[in-house]
Structure formats: C-alpha cells, structure tokens
C-alpha cells in the first residue's frame, strides 16, 4: 500500500513538472514571438526602416553624429535634382572644369573621374559620376555651378538638412572630403569632417528617393563608362557592391551611397525592394569595404524575413462604422466616405494581426466635391504597442486619407432657414417630453 502511494506521488510530481514545463514553454514561445533583434552588427551605428511608413525595424546608436564621408553626396544629388526641376540648370548644359575641380581630381587616394583643365561635361555626366562612382571632382564642379562656390553650396546643404528635420547633421564640404585636406581650398573650421547620424542619413535617403525616384535609375547602374569613346575613357564599377554582377550582390538592391574617410571608416546607405516593400538601411563605421555590405545584408535579411506589407482594404472602399461624415450647410446632411487609396499595413510575418479601424473626420462645410479629403483612417493593431518611427511626423501622418464619394451642394438660405425652424421645434419637443 505504501509503495502504491509513493508511486502515485511520483506520478503526480512528474505530471506537475510536465505541466509547469509545458506552461513555461508556451509562455516562452509567446514572449519570443516578437523578439528584439540582436543582429550583433560590427559597426558604430545602424538603422533599418520600411520606407512607406517610416517605421523603424532596428536601430543601434541611430542619433550619434558621425562622419558620413561620401554619403554626404546624397544631399548634393538632391540639390542637383531640385535645381533641374526648378529649371536653374539643365541636364544637357555643359559645365567647364574649374580650377578647384581640377585640383580635387589630382588628390591621391580619392574617388574621381580625373577632370582635366579645358574639358567640359554635361550636368548629366557629372551627376552620374557623382552618384555611381562617388566622384569628388564632379561633385565640387556641380556645387560651383549651382551655388557659385562650394561654400555657398554647403550653406544650401545645411539649410535643406534643417528643412528635412536632420537634427544631428552638419556639412562643411559638398563631397564629404575632410575640410583640411583640400590644399589651397581647405576650409578653416574646427569641424573637419561632415557629421551626420544614421537616422539623418535615412531621412536624407528617403527624401531623395521619394521626391526624385529617378535618382534610383542612376544609383542602380553597376558600371559606368566616363568619356566613352575617347582616349581618356574610364570604365569604373559602382562603389555599391550589392548591385548585380558585383562582389556582394543582394537581390532587390538599387541604391544608394557609400562613403569612406579615415575618420568615418566604411559607411553605406542602402535601399532594396522586394514584394512591393522598400527597406532603407544605414551602416556607419564598419572596418572594411566588404564588411559594410555584410552588415547591411544582416539588416535586409532581418527586414525581409520578418516583415511584410499586407493589403487590408481596397481604394474607394467604405469603412465599417464610418460610412458617412456629417456635413454642415449642405443640401444633404452627410456625405458617403471611402478610402482614398489602397490601405496597406506593415505586419510581422507568421502572425495573424487584427486591426481596429478609426476614422477622424474633418469639420465639413458644404460644398463638398467628389474625391475631396474629408478625414483620416488609422488601423490600430490589437495588442500592439506604440511603433517607433523615423520622424515624429511619420507617426502623425500614419494612416490613409478618407475622401468623399459624391458631391454635396451648398444648401440655399431658404432651405437652411426652414431646417433651423424644424430643428428648433424638434429640440423643443424633445426637451418637453424629457420632463
């Protein structure tokens, strides 16, 4: 009898341990469903984000101002694109090589296309040299053409950085070369290197490809031929080795900019698109040229294997519970509301996220036109905490516009007069019956 009792006790003990272990295992699985990424990047600073939402998927020291070297040229690219758009310059116009650009072309151990005195090149040729092979001589020549001098151009760079909300950025040269390594053109300043944080570099990259998507058509060129057909023809590979047929090829990469100085080490701002989702990465301070791409691959792999954009609603679809919006002074008292665009949300792969829709309507007064923005739809993931965004305005802009699906004409004063009388007696009657 004692032996049987002891056996029962042991069995109960084992069952208790098994239940406890199972419960703990289940709790661990639930807790590990969305683990914090531990990518162990060999870099000083890094960031990963989804471009359309601005949601940060990973970051490491994202706000530390560090030397970006030639990643600074993304700002030069933006200002050139902007100058062309504003018709201040044209892609086809020829720019003669200046003394400064000729001097920069002769600086050893720097990227360039060896511009010679007496030569002239189109803005397009110089831009391509700057964007594809990080040509410092082409960059300073474009800076002089747009602003009259590099010093003026640097002022433009810093002004635009402030407009973008790049709070940890300060430029002293257009190219990213140290200000004290430009010989007779050196800048006397306590700040020798350009400074930019990983977050700011991502902000800059995002603005460039959002405002000028054609920049990607240049940045994705694997190899560039400069002075084609001439005796001084140059054939050079893109410094971005993640492009096709280069050392660190990664599917979907189409940009964006590398950088290196002794102080900056090896940096790279990359972008890639897969399944209609674009990621932007920044890696700063890697030890070798190849290492910056190895670390970037870790970021891309993490982003593409763990997140996806999923469609939740079609364009022109009504939102359940928010099918109409109230309208003042209209022939109708409300207007049908629909989504202004396709509604996509960023979700974690392997989870079945549920979203609760909320529409905030504007204070509407007739007349209302079809397609007019009348509110904002936000889908809140159930059980999810607050997301980390690249910039505060990304959180504020999160969501999709809701638009009117039909016109609402302004009511005549007679209609409004009689409507107010009816409303008055209706309120009076309601008040009376309430007593």
378-390 b/e (C-beta count within 10 Å ≥ 16 → b): ebebeeeeeeebb
Selected catalytic residue, list 44, 55, 72, 73: 73
- Where are the strands (E) in 43-129, listed by range? 45-50, 56-60, 94-96, 120-122
- Classify strands 253-261 and 265-274 as parallel, antiparallel or unpaired: antiparallel
**Could you give phi then psi for residue 349, rounded to 5 degrees?**
-65, 135
- Give the Cα separation of 410 and 151 in Å (integer): 55
Return the closest-CA partner of residue 382 out of 361, 339, 351: 351
Please tell me the distance from the alpha carbon of residue 290 to that of residue 369, in angstroms, as a whole number: 55
Instruction: At 203, list the tokens.
Output: 């902000």
What is the number of other CB atoms lying within 10 angstroms of the CB of residue 152?
13
Structure tokens, 7: 């056996």
Q: Could you say which of 59, 98, 111, 134 is catalytic?
A: 134
Helix (H) or strand (E) holding 347, with range, is strand 343-348
What CA–CA distances, in Å, run from 251 to 107, 164, 220, 273, 290? 35, 30, 12, 8, 17
Selecting among 59, 70, 98, 197, the annotated active-site residue is 70
Helices 136-147/123-133 angle, 10° precision: 140
Is 98 an active-site residue? no
Q: What is the DSSP string of 218-276?
A: HHT-SEEEESTTSTT-EEEE-S-TTSTTSTT--TTEEEEEEEEETTTEEEEEEEEEETT
Q: Are 414 and 408 in contact (CB under 8 A)?
A: no
Q: Is 70 a catalytic residue?
A: yes
73 flagged as catalytic: yes
CA distance 101 to 20: 72
Contact 150, 140 (CB under 8 A): yes
- Active-site annotation, residues: 70, 73, 134
């Amino acid at each position: 009898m004692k032996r049987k009792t002891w056996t029962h006790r042991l069995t109960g003990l084992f069952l208790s341990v098994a239940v406890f272990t199972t419960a703990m295992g289940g709790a661990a699985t639930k807790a590990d469903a969305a683990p914090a990424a531990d990518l162990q990047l060999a870099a000083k600073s890094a960031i990963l984000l989804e471009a359309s939402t601005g949601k940060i998927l990973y970051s490491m020291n994202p706000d530390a101002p560090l030397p970006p070297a030639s990643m600074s040229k993304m700002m030069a690219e933006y200002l050139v694109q902007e100058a062309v758009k504003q018709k201040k310059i044209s892609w086809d116009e020829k720019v003669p090589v200046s003394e400064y650009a000729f001097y920069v072309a002769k600086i050893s151990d720097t990227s360039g296309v060896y511009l010679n005195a007496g030569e002239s090149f189109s803005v397009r040729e110089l831009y391509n040299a700057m964007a594809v092979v990080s040509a410092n001589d082409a960059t300073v020549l474009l800076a002089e053409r747009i602003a009259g001098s590099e010093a003026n151009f640097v002022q433009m760079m810093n002004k635009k950085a402030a407009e973008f909300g790049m709070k940890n950025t300060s430029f002293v040269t257009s190219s990213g070369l140290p200000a004290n390594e430009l010989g007779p053109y050196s800048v006397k300043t306590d700040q020798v290197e350009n400074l930019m944080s990983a977050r700011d570099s991502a902000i800059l990259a995002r603005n460039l490809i959002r405002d000028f998507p054609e920049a990607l058509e240049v940045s994705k060129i694997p190899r560039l031929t400069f002075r084609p057909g001439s005796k001084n023809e140059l054939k050079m590979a893109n410094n971005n080795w993640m492009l096709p047929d280069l050392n660190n090829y990664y599917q979907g990469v189409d940009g964006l900019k590398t950088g290196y100085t002794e102080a900056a080490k090896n940096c790279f701002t990359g972008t890639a698109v897969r399944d209609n989702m674009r990621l932007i990465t920044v890696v700063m301070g890697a030890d070798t040229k190849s290492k910056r791409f190895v670390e970037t691959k870790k970021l891309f792999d993490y982003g593409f294997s763990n997140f996806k954009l999923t469609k939740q609603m079609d364009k022109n679809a009504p939102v359940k519970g928010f099918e109409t919006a109230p309208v003042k002074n209209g022939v109708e008292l409300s207007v049908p509301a629909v989504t202004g665009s396709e509604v996509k949300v960023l979700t974690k792969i392997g989870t079945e996220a549920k979203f609760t829709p909320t529409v905030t309507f504007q204070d509407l007064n007739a007349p209302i036109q079809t397609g007019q923005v009348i509110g904002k739809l936000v889908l809140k993931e159930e059980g999810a905490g607050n997301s980390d965004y690249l910039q505060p305005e990304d959180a504020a802009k999160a969501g999709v516009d809701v638009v009117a699906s039909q016109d609402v004409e302004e009511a005549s004063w007679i209609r409004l007069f009689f409507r107010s009388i009816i409303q008055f007696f209706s309120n009076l009657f309601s008040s009376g019956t309430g007593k």
